[in-house]
Chain A
């Protein structure tokens, strides 16, 4: 840690200057200069737009904004931010801001009451509509936008964790030139010359490299610039891209279209290596909701087939899962297509098991024509995508479960090709001014491009990088402009269904960051235009009819712009029959590259919440393993912790082995995103970098890898001790109750076997029924897809500390809710289960009995309360907790120093000190907030108002699957009571008679009766 903190970098300076000037800064700037320079400065100042803008204002410094009703909020935000900035490190001098108390209370602001703003979080160009909680103008929590069809209240882990990125103390804090601190003005001055030179040659030397852009405003800005400077070029690159999807669409339809699914209407889903139930897949939040809504065994249940290479949480939810090497999936797809009646050019031979599986699946698909769907993973080749379009068309799914629309991406160019062209131009000396807007191509570009060396060479005269961190790319560019976080700057973006959201900032840039919009204004010679102006202008142009102000405010309030959802497009698949690619050598080891489930392509490497987030299957933190299957491990005599060298085409990478149940044989998976060299204090140096093996010819899988044991040992920090429900002595523990649909219909109460009759006690039972509230929770294991979202949501809501690799390795991670993953049966193709475990809030809580000081006590509402102040830290409660949900502050895990984190934390939740126990409280701060509201309403309205189902815990609120329900057990109509009344409801470890308030709805799978003997065989084999 100490070593890493040295990397913090960034000299201590005040945040860079704002776009608007005030007298003080003008004075300071003049004072800085002398002699001839002084005069030039003055002239320039007088001539600059900013100066004129300042002179125009009667009262500088934001005062004129006060006049506009909308900007009042903006002004208050400014004030809030200035207040907050006063506490930031990195400042040698406090901003000259007079802080005055409110003369008039701002509208809607009640200190201590949070406010909520709709905005959108963007990953890979796809927006996640969110609502952000703001406490005194500090964003503190991300929630899904319940009204937006792409969210319905759910979020994914990246959206949840993006909050931590905002307050990341390692963010670039100032504009730099060759590593030296510069002002924003200095930057605009410096690029002015080169830009005007380029203007003269139609922008021939200008290249803009962006990540995927779905922002209509930004795309419009860039296109406008390109129109004015036709020789300039816009390149797009992102390592986790959808090239295959787009190429496949081109193959099938002749144009790039967006494919959208409606899983709520799909009875049969076949996934060909598509991990559509995990963050990073466009629309995953909505897909999880729709998928889970069809997992109720008492209603019409869907059936999921997953043919996959690298095991994923989607595969673990499958009713039938088939592990196949990535290159072989194409073969299966051809047989599947043939089975569905699509004329296929190839009839590859499959193994008996595969044939059996595919035939059953294709029959099932055909039986459900119009209510089925075939989804192909992003990393499968274009031909497979084209084939899937044909299968879906043949099954009559188009317009029912599958929809085609305009692409969400504003520039769906082939990413690899686009970057190739750029590098060629750089090497060819055609580039004079390179703008890299976001991303980190030096780290994640295809290996054969040697992007770093291209950038390092002096071929490009001026390189400007806009990025949040001083990372691998930033050091190779002369200018580094700190990028504003999405909660700091105006923008817009489209969700997976095309609906556009305004990205609304909640706070002024903490470090004077700039958005891509503002960089383009400099390029286009329109300085002074703010992101807000640009976005508003764009939508003003789009807006027809009605009052724009009303439209604008409604769009901001709702979180999206009504009527922008893309209508399904009529495209017809051409009757081409996609050719099979060259079949891979069956004996060669296949190497797969996958995005990391936690840190994605590496952009979240410095996000402690995500680094410490246990990956859905392995439960690994802080590292990426070399993943192989059990068969391969025993063949090569490799075991956990062994460090191996993976070699592909002469390039090597070293990493520790992880043997993953269900991983196909003769295949290795490497996860991208680790091994960063300039990520920040959390991300630098964790794991190994797999990018050097990844080329644009084989971005996702390649054949012919070599594995060599090095004899070294490395410990991977996994948060789960043991991953099967079968204990090593051969007995089975009834932890996740599971059956199949047929059995369930016969015996609906199968899960209640272990229940103890409530009368079986010597002690008088505590009667909770007289209380106003009795809190309880139920978790539907059938709906849970193991997406991990609850963990990050809880971490954010409850100010849970990040402990780091060393401590996680020791087992001291602090998550209040965890998602246990269990495997059962054949290790080569096991069944998988997810079980979220928060505190059970036992009525007979074993922890309470043993605490010597009464620091954990029962409330009248049935909560097992933890009194941090009273805790002396004997850890006896944790020893006696059969669910091991208690977490102990063995050291001072909370960061009490970093000022940024102080701003981020939920003010309603205590920051725990060292030496105290903590655990899930059922979000008691939310309970109390709602109780206070209800009591106030009771008094005001003169009638009994009680808290209803609108009260949601953090895990419940953001759960995309709706797998968690929480509420009042004393309210007969509460949702939680309805869930608990179901026959599937059971208590974990019921025989201990702890009487947990958190119960589970047992898991019911829906296997295809035709494939059932095989599954029985699997079970007996296990």
Chain B
């Protein structure tokens, strides 16, 4: 990284692609541009309208949940034998989406993929919100949600612990740990930027709020040293979690004996699928945000193309997972497994399975072509397709496996009700409400980390090396 010539911006010979930050920016312009969105930009009518739409979506969720608490899970389409439906599908879907943020922040940070600096902040925020959405479901899908805290090991007068052999308990730990670490990681990363906002804010109340949140950050070398150490440690801590969370979620299925669930390929295939959908969501959000807030300088075509490549790679892993599932159905010679395959292809949910294959395997192959990786329009469309495809994957795994298992007499059908849809769409509303607020109250890209991408940042480094 060390370089002798500070100006013009040094670009390694092998990296003549679109830059990760457009030329012409300085420390000041970055700080100004990012913080102005929070501090100076007037609240537009469009923002208010969008917020109202999203907020009403969130209220629909609250209404659906209120009715659920009043009546019970019977308002949903679940039944015997399909004991899990939209709630668990959505849980797995949201948790999967929540993988991208930490992957970008932690793993790419450790791998020194500096291009991630401009997208990690809102990817992390997205992760947090997605995990929050996911976290709603395990709670409310229980028959008696007011007792769901029994899943936590806490000393109680009943002298009773959770049943630690159950994957649902592993879930509780995996998801809550992941949620906590993601939150801390995100907040630690925010501290220097909060200080910047504090310093730039003119309104005394906003100054106070950001001042409080900045936790006394002064930008001293000692602060920076501690900050970098903590950030690195947290990145190291978060990295295994990215892999473990969805592995544990996949255990919910893999540990059971239901044909279509009971399979060893689930952990890697679930993790790949999670990253797949996570990146799709990042791209899905990044494209409109950078257009609306003029962030094209910081979130460049390079970021989008890299994301497309990640999606292509993980999509292929997911495709491999599908192939192995189908292959094992045939190769095992097990009547229940081979029927599962038949049922996916010819059963009542065959159109859903076909849509899954098309949206998750076939359409994303377009990413082999550079045009689709760089065209923001197509990239956005394909990301949406992948998001739908990954939702369908969870639907196929959960509903289609359960609806026809061992005893023919107990087969059934699953029809989601309006409450299922309201809850699902409601969480999307909640997610977008949070995103909507986030882009206006916090710096959506990391000022401090963006600055490290500037040549000025490297001068300092070079001087240090010289000494």
Residues of A within 8 A of B (CB): 720-725, 727-729, 731, 733, 735, 807, 810-812, 818, 820-822, 835, 837, 846, 849-854, 870-876, 878-880, 882-884, 886-892, 913-917, 988-989, 992
How long is the Cα–Cα vector from A887 to B74 in the complex, in angstroms? 12
Chain A, Cβ-Cβ closest to B341: A729
Interface SS, B side:
loop
Interface contacts beyond A722-B404, A723-B408, A854-B162: sample of 10 additional A-B pairs, CB < 8 Å, sorted by A:
A721-B409, A729-B338, A874-B141, A879-B258, A884-B410, A890-B78, A890-B143, A891-B75, A915-B72, A989-B407
Query: What chain A residues lie within 8 Å of B162 (beta carbons)?
Result: 852-854
Is B343 on the interface with A (CB-CB < 8 A)? yes
A890 to B339, Cβ gap below 8 A? no
Can you list 20 A-B contacts (CB < 8 A)?
A721-B404, A721-B408, A731-B338, A735-B408, A812-B74, A822-B408, A850-B166, A852-B166, A852-B172, A853-B150, A854-B163, A872-B148, A873-B144, A874-B143, A875-B78, A876-B256, A889-B72, A891-B72, A891-B75, A914-B72
Which stretch from B79-87, B205-213, B231-239 is at the chain A interface?
Answer: B79-87
Number of A-B pairs, beta carbon distance below 8 Å: 180
Query: What chain B residues lie within 8 Å of A810 (beta carbons)?
Result: 77, 79, 415
1/0 contact string of B138-149 vs chain A (CB within 8 Å): 000111110110
How long is the Cα–Cα vector from A720 to B160 in the complex, in angstroms? 38
How long is the Cα–Cα vector from A917 to B143 in the complex, in angstroms? 9
Partner of A882, one of B141, B142, B145, B405: B405
Is B257 on the interface with A (CB-CB < 8 A)? yes
Q: How many residues of B contact A (CB 8 A)?
A: 55
CB distance from A733 to the nearest CB of B (A): 6
Is B255 on the interface with A (CB-CB < 8 A)? yes
A878 to B255, Cβ gap below 8 A? no
Chain B, Cβ-Cβ closest to A876: B168
Query: What chain A residues lie within 8 Å of B466 (beta carbons)?
Result: none
A811 to B72, Cβ gap below 8 A? no
B402 to A879, Cβ gap below 8 A? yes
How long is the Cα–Cα vector from A836 to B143 in the complex, in angstroms? 28
CB distance from B77 to the nearest CB of A (A): 8
Are A852 and B84 CB-contacts (below 8 A) given A721-B408, A731-B339, A916-B143? no
How long is the Cα–Cα vector from A811 to B404 in the complex, in angstroms? 13
CB distance from A805 to the nearest CB of B (A): 14
Partner of A849, one of B79, B148, B166, B346: B166
Partner of A883, one of B75, B144, B407, B415: B407
Among A822, A835, A875, residue most surrounded by chain B Cβ atoms (within 10 Å): A875
Chain B, Cβ-Cβ closest to A891: B74
Residues of B within 8 A of A (CB): 71-75, 77-81, 83-84, 141-145, 147-148, 150-151, 160-163, 165-169, 172, 252, 255-258, 335, 338-339, 342-343, 346-347, 402, 404-413, 415
B143 to A873, Cβ gap below 8 A? yes
How long is the Cα–Cα vector from A334 to B72 in the complex, in angstroms? 61
Chain A, Cβ-Cβ closest to B166: A852
A852 to B169, Cβ gap below 8 A? yes
Are A853 and B256 CB-contacts (below 8 A) given A727-B408, A729-B346, A811-B79? no
Chain B, Cβ-Cβ closest to A887: B80
Q: Which 10 A-B pairs have the closest CB atoms?
A: A873-B143, A915-B143, A721-B411, A890-B74, A875-B83, A891-B74, A884-B410, A729-B342, A820-B409, A852-B168
A729 to B339, Cβ gap below 8 A? yes
Query: What chain B residues lie within 8 Å of A812 (beta carbons)?
Result: 74, 79-80
Chain A, Cβ-Cβ closest to B340: A729
Partner of B143, one of A720, A870, A879, A888: A888
B411 to A807, Cβ gap below 8 A? no
Are A846 and B143 CB-contacts (below 8 A) given A728-B346, A733-B408, A882-B406? no
Chain B, Cβ-Cβ closest to A857: B163
How long is the Cα–Cα vector from A853 to B152 in the complex, in angstroms? 9
Among A735, A846, A874, residue most surrounded by chain B Cβ atoms (within 10 Å): A874
B258 to A872, Cβ gap below 8 A? no
CB distance from B95 to the nearest CB of A (A): 16
How long is the Cα–Cα vector from A837 to B150 in the complex, in angstroms? 32
A879 to B412, Cβ gap below 8 A? no
CB distance from B67 to the nearest CB of A (A): 12
Are A818 and B409 CB-contacts (below 8 A) given A853-B150, A891-B72? yes
A721 to B412, Cβ gap below 8 A? yes
Query: What chain B residues lie within 8 Å of A728 (beta carbons)?
Result: 342-343, 346-347
How long is the Cα–Cα vector from A377 to B52 in the complex, in angstroms? 71
CB distance from B222 to the nearest CB of A (A): 46
CB distance from B264 to the nearest CB of A (A): 16
A874 to B168, Cβ gap below 8 A? yes
How long is the Cα–Cα vector from A849 to B144 in the complex, in angstroms? 20
A853 to B163, Cβ gap below 8 A? yes
Partner of B256, one of A811, A880, A913, A917: A880
Are A884 and B80 CB-contacts (below 8 A) given A722-B409, A890-B74, A915-B143? yes
Query: What chain A residues lie within 8 Å of B169 (beta carbons)?
Result: 852
CB distance from A233 to the nearest CB of B (A): 52
B256 to A854, Cβ gap below 8 A? no
How long is the Cα–Cα vector from A807 to B78 in the complex, in angstroms? 11
B72 to A876, Cβ gap below 8 A? no
CB distance from A618 to the nearest CB of B (A): 13
Chain A, Cβ-Cβ closest to B81: A884
CB distance from A305 to the nearest CB of B (A): 28
Query: What chain A residues lie within 8 Å of B142 (beta carbons)?
Result: 872-874, 915
Are A853 and B151 CB-contacts (below 8 A) given A807-B74, A873-B73? yes
Chain A, Cβ-Cβ closest to B257: A846
Query: What chain B residues lie within 8 Å of A720 (beta carbons)?
Result: 409-410
How long is the Cα–Cα vector from A731 to B335 in the complex, in angstroms? 7
B409 to A916, Cβ gap below 8 A? no
Chain B, Cβ-Cβ closest to A734: B335
How long is the Cα–Cα vector from A884 to B414 in the complex, in angstroms? 15
CB distance from A724 to the nearest CB of B (A): 7
Query: What chain A residues lie within 8 Å of B339 (beta carbons)?
Result: 727, 729, 731
How long is the Cα–Cα vector from A873 to B141 in the complex, in angstroms? 8
B81 to A878, Cβ gap below 8 A? yes
CB distance from A480 to the nearest CB of B (A): 38
Query: What chain B residues lie within 8 Å of A733 (beta carbons)?
Result: 335, 406, 408
CB distance from A591 to the nearest CB of B (A): 31
Query: What chain A residues lie within 8 Å of B167 (beta carbons)?
Result: 850
How long is the Cα–Cα vector from A913 to B160 in the complex, in angstroms? 21
A878 to B80, Cβ gap below 8 A? yes
How long is the Cα–Cα vector from A892 to B143 in the complex, in angstroms? 10
Query: What chain A residues lie within 8 Å of B165 (beta carbons)?
Result: 849-850
How long is the Cα–Cα vector from A892 to B163 in the complex, in angstroms? 26
